Structure 1
Amino acid sequence: MTTISSGAGIGATAGLPTGDGALSALGGMGSGGFLELMVAQLRYQNPMAPSDPSAMMMQTAQLAQLDAIQQLASLQRRDLGLQNAVAAAGLVGTTVNALATDGGTVQGVVDAVRYTTLGPVLDIGGQEVPFDHVTEIRKPDAPITDA
C-alpha cells in the first residue's frame, strides 16, 4: 500500500515575500516600511548637516540587493525540498539501504513516504528513516547485499 501524506514541508512558502509591503528577512521590515523610515529620516534631518544622498542611494541599493539574494536563497531551499519530495515518492516499492537514526543500518523495500517540515521520511519495513539517510538504491528485483 502506498501512502503519501502532505504536510507543511511540501511546497511551504512561509516567509516568502508576496508584494511591496511583504515581510523580508531584514528584521521583518518590508520595502514599504523601509521607504517610510527613509522619508522620516529625510524629514527630520538637521538642515545644517544634511545627509549625503549618494550614500543613502548606495545603502538603498545594497539593501535591495541583500533582500533579492535572500529571496533567491529561500526559493532555492523550497525547490530543493520539492525535488526531495518527488525523489522520495519515487522510491516507494524500491529496495534501499539507509542509516537508521540509532546509528545502525536498515535494508528493505520502501513501503510509504511521510512528509515532515524537516523533509521526507521513508517507511522501510515499519521503521522510519529520513530521506537523506539513504545510502543505496536498488531495482525492486535486485538482491539485498550487506554493505
Structure 2
Amino acid sequence: MQTRVSFILIFLFIMLLPMRVNSQIVTGAEQMDQYLPLLKGKRIGMVVNHTSVVGRKQVHLLDTLLKREVRVVKVFAPEHGFRGNADAGETVKDGKDSHTGIPIVSLYGDNKKPSAAQLKDVDVIVFDIQDVGARFYTYISTMYYVMEACAENKKEMVVLD
C-alpha cells in the first residue's frame, strides 16, 4: 500500500511539475542576450520563414535584427518562402526581399543545400523556424542540409528553436 501511494504521489508530482501559473513561452529568437554576441561584427545569413517572429507584435526576426544593426547579408528561404507567401509545393524563387532589399536564396526546389559560392559572403548562419515535429516537413531536412553546408565550408551556425 505504501509503495502504491508513493508511486501515485511521484506520478502526480511529475505530471504537475511543468504546470505553472502565468507561464509564458519565450522563443529562442526573443532571447537576444544569448545569441547577439555571437553575431556581432559578422556577416549573417538567415534561414527563416514566416514563423520567425519576435514579441507580441510578431515582428519578423530579420526586421528585428536589422533594427539592432546586425549585418544580415542574405536570407535562405525554405518551403513556403521566407515570408510565408508560397503555397505548399510551390516553387520558391531567388530574389530580393521587398521590405529590406536583402538577397534571398531559395532552398526549396532544385537547390536544397547552400553552395560554397552562396556561403562565401556569410560568416554565421542563423536558423529559426518553428516546427512542432509532429509530421515530416521539409524544415528538418533544410536544417540538415544547411548544417552540412556549414560544416563543409567552415561556417558557424546558430539554431534558435
Structure having greater relative contact order (Cα 8 Å, sep ≥ 6): 1
Q: TM-score, normalised by structure 1?
A: 0.27
- Flag the structure with larger Rg: 1
